[in-house]
Amino acid sequence: MDYEVPSIWRTMQAKGYSRREFLFFCGVAVAAAGLRANGLAQVVEAFESKPRPPVVWLHFQECTCCSESFIRSSHPIVADIIFDTLSLDYTETLQAASGFQAEKTRDETMKNNQGKYILLVEGSIPMAGDGAYCMIGGKSSEQILKEAAEGAAAIIAWGSCASNGCIQAAKPNPTNATPIHKIVNKPVINVPGCPPIAEVMTGIVTHVLLFDKIPELDSQGRPKEFYSRRVHDTCYRRPFYDAGLFVESWDDDAARQGYCLYKMGCRGPTTYNACSVTKWNANLSYPIQSGHGCIGCSESGFWDNGPFYQHLGAFPGFGIESTADTIGATAAAVTAGGVAVHAAASAIRKRKLVNIQRAEAEKSEAAREQKEAAPEQTENDGGEEQ
Q: Where on the chain is the footprint of ligand SF4 (CB under 6 A)?
A: 193, 231-232, 235, 237-238, 241, 260-262, 266, 268-269, 271, 273, 275, 286-288, 293-298
Cα–Cα distances in Å, from 239 out to 127, 236, 259, 270?
45, 7, 9, 17
Interaction between residue 139 and another protein (CB under 8 A): no
CB of 222 to ligand SF4, least distance (A): 12
CA-wise closest residue to 69 among 179, 181, 161, 202 = 202
Position 327 contacts another protein (CB under 8 A)? yes
CB of 158 to another protein, least distance (A): 19
Which CB sits closer to ligand SF4, 146 or 238?
238
For residue 126, the partner it binds in another protein, ligand SF4, none, with Cβ less than 5 to 8 A by kind, is none
Please work out the total of residues on this chain that contact another protein, with binding judged by CB under 8 A: 65
Closest separation in Å from C-beta 81 to ligand SF4: 25
Q: How far is the CB of 22 from ligand SF4 (least distance, A)?
A: 32
By C-alpha distance, which of 85, 94, 108 is closest to 59?
Answer: 94
**3 state SS of 150:** helix
Q: Which is nearer to another protein, 4 or 379 (CB)?
A: 379
Q: Pick from 19, 256, 370, 375 the residue near another protein by CB under 8 A.
A: 370
Long-range contacts of 291-296 (CB under 8 A, 24+ apart): 291/255, 291/258, 291/261, 292/261, 293/261, 293/262, 293/264, 293/265, 293/266, 293/267, 293/268, 294/231, 294/261, 294/266, 294/267, 294/268, 295/265, 295/267, 296/267, 296/270, 296/271
Cα-based distances in Å from 235 to 32, 124, 210, 244, 273: 21, 30, 31, 15, 11
355 binding another protein? (CB under 8 A): no
Asked if 311 is part of the footprint of another protein (rule: CB under 8 A), the reply reads yes
Rounded Cα gap, residues 119 and 373, in angstroms? 101
**Positions that interact with another protein (CB under 8 A):** 219-220, 229-230, 233, 239-246, 248, 254, 262-263, 267, 269-272, 296, 299-302, 305, 311-313, 315, 324-325, 327-329, 331-332, 335-336, 339, 342-343, 345-346, 349-350, 352-354, 357, 360-361, 363-364, 366-368, 370-371, 377-380
